[in-house]
Amino acid sequence: MSEFAPKSDFLRVLAERGYIHQCSDLSGVDEKAAAGDLIAYIGYDCTGPSLHVGHLLPTMMLRWLQKTGGGKPLPLMGGGTTRVGDPSGKDESRKILTIADIDANKASIRGVFSNFLTFGDGKTDAIMPDNAEWLTALNYIEFLRDVGRHFSVNRMLSMDSVKMRLERDQELSFIEFNYMCLQAYDFVELYRRYGCMLQMGGSDQWGNIVTGIDLGRRMGTGQLYALTSPLLTTASGAKMGKTASGAVWLNADMLSPWDYWQYWRNTEDADTGKFLKLFTELPMDEIRRLEALQGAEINEAKKVLANEATAMAHGRAAADQAMATARTTFEEGGASTDLPGVDIPQSEFAEGVGVLTAFVRAGLVASTGEARRQVKGGGLRVNDTAVTDERASISARDLRSGAVKLSLGRKKHVLLRPV
RNA sequence: GGGGAAGUGUCCCGAGCGGCAAAGGGGGCGGACUGUAAAUCCGCUGGCUAUGCCUUCGUAGGUUCGAGUCCUACCUUCCCCA
């Protein structure tokens, strides 16, 4: 891959920023992209109500495709396949959702995409198809006759995703086993409907994608291509996109821009350069400069990373605000009024609220028991003063410009406001 | 259809002679050290109106002063035979 000199901006960007893990035919893809004719899709399941950071990498590839004028991005909603479950790499079968759930998830996800892609009818405008459109209309007998006959069970059994399940004696249901057929068929259908010739995805999707290319050849599509991105783990080996409180969601109603900004701000040193390339659109020389920073200076690079990533998902204003809040909170030790807040009835407040209860109400701890333990471990602070007496209470005299600042550990702060 | 094994702290894995709020990991959280990083070390990791009370070991019963542990039935998963 290092030998390859792309003609298209699309592949050049992808290559230099580290998005490419494997590609079935780089020069083939390059040619289409150079002509601006590359129509590419990525499949997304609708198991969750939003997209999270794990979806960001493939989504950025679609964004670059659009931005470099390489062609048309098709984020495909797996409204049909979500009802099946993908065995790839997963140890456990995916839960099967109701149709109503899937629809709700789809609607929510559509909103997230609009932050990253421009939709419309133009040549490089994105379209969001849903494979339920064709999968639910399939007739079993016809599907077997027209599509099923092209699949070799022998080969399906030899695929890693299947082999793994068989070797571990883990249940692999017939529906899941069919997943790859449906995904392959999606590719063909997208070719027929939109002229889509490239499927992208995480490296764990390689097998499924190639199966689609094969099916296409047998069913008379033009040449199809596969391009996968590396699976991302943090430098210390953890999976991307998980934090204490769960997934790092991309929409504001599930994870505030402030928390999103913090997620990126807390990137491990060793990942900073990689993330700048993958998750921001800063010019490469700027990234190289930031990457070269050493020691505590890396924090500057992390702030840029947090800003750029947050701006993309939540807008520049939200990013600026998060940065300002971070500065007053962490660098000046103050209590920015933009910290997350929780309201408490004035009446209750007047009588004084127990510290333990207050922390529970603020959502910083799950129970008074946990609050008690945190007090013992020195983890709770009220207005930056450590809580030592678990029976203390909070009242009006603790107000600092209309709120009480509760902190758990160094990083989690909530403002308690009487209302 | 017959025979066998297993399901444990609602994150996961996993010990558990009838006295168990239940060993040990991993993960997570907090503390120290730092740079809102990593690594390392230490503490915590059922709930509550709290020196006590309540709820937890697949489900439902039973034996017992007392059951995660013994008995019965059922559910689920896996293995072997047909």
The percentage of chain A sitting over the pLDDT mark of 70, rounded to a whole number, equals 90
The pLDDT score that the predictor gives to residue A74 is 97
User: What's the mean per-residue pLDDT of chain A?
Assistant: 88
The pLDDT score that the predictor gives to residue A93 is 43
For residue A232 the two structure tokens come to 């991302």
Measuring from the CA of residue A409 to each C1' atom, give the nucleotide at the shortest distance. B30
The pLDDT score that the predictor gives to residue A358 is 94
Model confidence at A79, in pLDDT bands (50, 70, 90)?
A: confident
Nearest protein residue to nucleotide B49 (CA to C1' distance) is A368
Whose CB is within 7 A of strand B?
A 169, 171, 235-236, 238, 243-244, 262, 265-269, 295-296, 298-299, 302, 326-327, 329-331, 357, 360, 366-370, 372-374, 376-379, 408-412
Measuring from the CA of residue A356 to each C1' atom, give the nucleotide at the shortest distance. B48
The pLDDT score that the predictor gives to residue A90 is 43
**Which residues are registered as beta bridge partners of A243?**
A246
State which of A42-56, A89-103, A188-202 shows the largest mean pLDDT.
Answer: A188-202
Q: How far apart are CA A185 and CA A211, in angstroms?
A: 9
A256 burial level (CB within 10 Å; 0-12, 13-18, 19+):
middle
The Å distance, CA of A237 to C1' of B26, is 14
Model confidence at A92, in pLDDT bands (50, 70, 90)?
A: very low
Q: What is the pLDDT of residues A35-56, one digit of tens each?
A: 999 999 999 988 777 888 888 9
Model confidence at A82, in pLDDT bands (50, 70, 90)?
A: confident
Chain B nucleotides with an atom closer than 7 Å to a protein C-beta = 27-32, 34-39, 43-50, 77-79
Of residues A155 and A313, more confidence is placed in A313
The pLDDT score that the predictor gives to residue A337 is 79
Instruction: Say if residue A243's pLDDT is above 70.
Output: no
In the sheet that A404-408 helps form, which strands lie side by side, from edge to edge?
A: A341-344, A412-418, A404-408, A380-382, A385-386
What value does the mean pLDDT take over residues A272-287?
A: 96
The Å distance, CA of A367 to C1' of B52, is 19
The Å distance, CA of A419 to C1' of B50, is 31
Instruction: Say if residue A170's pLDDT is above 70.
Output: no
Nearest protein residue to nucleotide B28 (CA to C1' distance) is A244
What type of residue is A231? L
The pLDDT score that the predictor gives to residue A81 is 79
The pLDDT score that the predictor gives to residue A87 is 53
Q: What is the pLDDT of residues A224-235, one digit of tens each?
A: 999 999 887 776
Strand ranges for A230-339 from DSSP E:
242-243, 246-247
Least trusted range by pLDDT, from A27-36, A49-58, A375-384: A49-58
Tell me the H-state helices in A114-226: 132-135, 140-146, 153-158, 160-167, 174-194, 206-218
The Å distance, CA of A31 to C1' of B67, is 73
The percentage of chain A sitting over the pLDDT mark of 90, rounded to a whole number, equals 63
Residues of A marked as catalytic? 47, 52, 55, 90, 94, 183, 204, 239, 242-243
Instruction: Say if residue A33's pLDDT is above 90.
Output: yes
Contact A224, A198 (CB under 8 A): yes
The Å distance, CA of A271 to C1' of B42, is 28
DSSP A345-408: -HHHHHH-EEHHHHHHHTTSSSSHHHHHHHHHTT-EEETTEE---TT-EE-GGG-BTTBEEEEE
The pLDDT score that the predictor gives to residue A292 is 93
Measuring from the CA of residue A411 to each C1' atom, give the nucleotide at the shortest distance. B36
Contact A113, A129 (CB under 8 A): no
Least trusted range by pLDDT, from A33-42, A217-226, A238-247, A255-264: A238-247
What value does the mean pLDDT take over residues A373-380?
A: 93
What value does the mean pLDDT take over residues A158-165?
A: 74
Instruction: Say if residue A261's pLDDT is above 70.
Output: yes
The Å distance, CA of A337 to C1' of B44, is 31
What type of residue is A158? S
Nearest protein residue to nucleotide B34 (CA to C1' distance) is A296
Of residues A48 and A89, more confidence is placed in A48
What's this model's pTM, rounded to 2 decimal places? 0.88
Instruction: Say if residue A94's pLDDT is above 50.
Output: no
Q: What is the pLDDT of residues A124-147, one digit of tens each?
A: 999 999 999 999 889 999 999 999
The pLDDT score that the predictor gives to residue A89 is 43
Instruction: Say if residue A272's pLDDT is above 50.
Output: yes
The pLDDT score that the predictor gives to residue A91 is 39
Q: What is the pLDDT of residues A329-355, one digit of tens each?
A: 998 877 777 888 899 988 888 888 999
